[in-house]
Structure 1
Amino acid sequence: MNNPVQNVRSLVSEAEWEARVNLAACYRLVAHFGMSDLIYNHITCHVPGAEGEFLINPYGMLYEEITASCLVKINLAGDILLNPNPTYGINQAGYVIHSAIHGARADVDCVIHTHTRAGMAVSALECGLLPIAQTNMRFGKVAYHDYEGVAVDVDERERLVADLGSSDVMILRNHGLLTCGPSVAEAFNTMYWLENACKVQLDALACNAALIVPPQKVIEKTANQFEPHVRRPYGIMEWPAMLRLLDRRDTSYRD
């Protein structure tokens, strides 16, 4: 009987296989930290050395089931280039959102979209994300995109890209959260802390007490201190530790 893992690995470059392992790890980490949504939502990464091609999850699998070999390779036109298990297709909303960003942002390798309870709650607040804690102040450049319904219409891509601009963080109003970055490691780290920032805000608002908001000058200074030109990009140093965490629990994401 053919081994699907060996079959996929023999069909792709070593660079693509490494990207697949990192992306599968990201899916597992999102599940581990409670940010998954059954079989829904999507994380993608660019296929190294292939313009306009990216990897996405097979629609129907839990995040905790994702492996390097099961990821589906598609292009910006939505054509499926490699699907190791044709039983599963791809999520149309995932294609629309992720193809928009991969097609417009050459600096982006990975895009993550979630529907967490905290993320959806903040997305419904008129005030958006508030700079009320150091974690929140990391996100000095948050983009917002108004809700247009389930993102299955291709013509929404233009507005998604326009609203995102050059930011790596976007709150989809009445919907959820989106982060992107020049690597899987950086995009995951951004999402992890964005999720925590949303939780901090909801906890503070639930106290029904006056909030302390630092002066704008301090907020801007703090946001600048988190910028990658000031320090090592967040996510790079942490990624090996994240992989060790997964390896202690289940190494099957590498298959």
Structure 2
Amino acid sequence: MALSNVQINNGFNESEWELRLDLAACYRLMALFGWDDLIYTHITCRLPEASSHFLINPYGMMFDEITASSLIKIDLAGNKVEHSEWPVNPAGFVIHSAIHEVREDIRCVLHAHTVATIAVSTLECGLLPLSQHATLLFQGIGYHDYEGISVDKDERQSLQKDMGKNNVMFLRNHGVLVAGATISEAFHNFYVLQKACEIQVQAMGCNAPMVSVKPEVIAVVMDQYRQANLGKGAQLEWPGLLRRLDRIDPSWRE
């Protein structure tokens, strides 16, 4: 017998439940690929019905434990909109509320502390156009100087300024922020960035001359990319990633 809509959506409206599913999947995928950092990073998603509300992870829950219904809804002031027994990471609130407050063009913001992205964040040169992966992001990257652990709300202004209209920002000596118009796009952007950083770190470690992609190629590569992925972008791979999660453990859908 088919489940009722209430049972499927756990009491949430359909649009919010779909976002909760995708966000929970994104957390599980970060854990699956080994890109989590215990409980200390975060991914958020702005809700369509109330642009001042966004979903964030329960602080203390491991990424491979997160489910659609366990995500916490908060507002831009850091208040919980609905009851949850779990706290919210103060630094997560500061970082993500800063971007959600001024970027209505993006729905999802992903913050990570992977070794490769932190390594590149410490380099004065930042990300270099050494690979095809890097060229896909190269024209939209910002940099934000380290100001300590992000618990001071005043840092939101400098985060907003340094992010600008970019969808990728290196947090110097700290990690990265990656954004997308959808959750799948934010995950895809991070996947590409992580690959680009891993490639750069390994290439620089060879202690040999490196060849950068030519500027005229960087200028056209995004148009070529849209042709190559049939104009579907991240949505081309997202269903397959969800099927992978379901084969491993479908509890993220709860």
TM-score (norm 2): 0.92
Instruction: Give the letter for the 1:101 counterpart.
Output: I
What are the equivalent positions in structure 2 for 1:1-255 lying under 5 Å apart? 9-10=10-11, 12-84=12-84, 86=85, 88-139=86-137, 140-226=139-225, 232=231, 234-255=233-254
Matched-pair contact (CA < 8 Å) for 1:171–1:178: yes
Instruction: Give the letter for the 2:177 counterpart.
Output: L
**Secondary structure at the residue paired with 1:82?**
coil
Give the gaps of 5 or more residues in structure 2.
1-5
Residue 227 of structure 1: how far off its partner (Å): 6.4
After superposition, the Cα gap between the structure-2 partners of 1:231 and 1:100, relative to the gap in structure 1 and judged at 3 Å, is farther
After superposition, the Cα gap between the structure-2 partners of 1:249 and 1:187, relative to the gap in structure 1 and judged at 3 Å, is same
How many aligned residue pairs are there? Answer: 247
For 2:3, the equivalent position in structure 1 comes to none
**Larger mean Cα displacement after TM superposition, 207-216 or 125-134:** 207-216
Instruction: Give the letter for the 1:234 counterpart.
Output: G
**Secondary structure at the residue paired with 1:74?**
strand
Deviations 1:210-231 (A, max 9, x none): 0011322222222454469x96
TM-score (norm 1): 0.92
**Secondary structure at the residue paired with 1:54?**
strand
In 2, Cα distance between the equivalents of 1:224 and 1:36? 32
In 1, Cα distance between the equivalents of 2:188 and 2:148? 28
In 2, Cα distance between the equivalents of 1:54 and 1:240? 23
Instruction: Give the letter for the 1:104 counterpart.
Output: V
Instruction: Give the letter for the 1:35 counterpart.
Output: W
In 2, Cα distance between the equivalents of 1:97 and 1:224? 31
Deviations 1:4-40 (A, max 9, x none): x969822x21111111111000000011111100011
**Secondary structure at the residue paired with 1:178?**
strand
Matched-pair contact (CA < 8 Å) for 1:100–1:160: yes
Deviations 1:65-104 (A, max 9, x none): 00001100000011101244x1x20001100011011110
Give the gaps of 5 or more residues in structure 1.
none
After superposition, the Cα gap between the structure-2 partners of 1:227 and 1:79, relative to the gap in structure 1 and judged at 3 Å, is farther
Deviations 1:147-206 (A, max 9, x none): 100011101111111111111111111110111011000000000110110000001001
After superposition, the Cα gap between the structure-2 partners of 1:179 and 1:57, relative to the gap in structure 1 and judged at 3 Å, is same
Would you identify which runs of 4 or more consecutive aligned residues in structure 1 move more than 4 Å? 5-8
**Secondary structure at the residue paired with 1:167?**
coil
Residue 50 of structure 1: how far off its partner (Å): 1.4
**Secondary structure at the residue paired with 1:219?**
helix
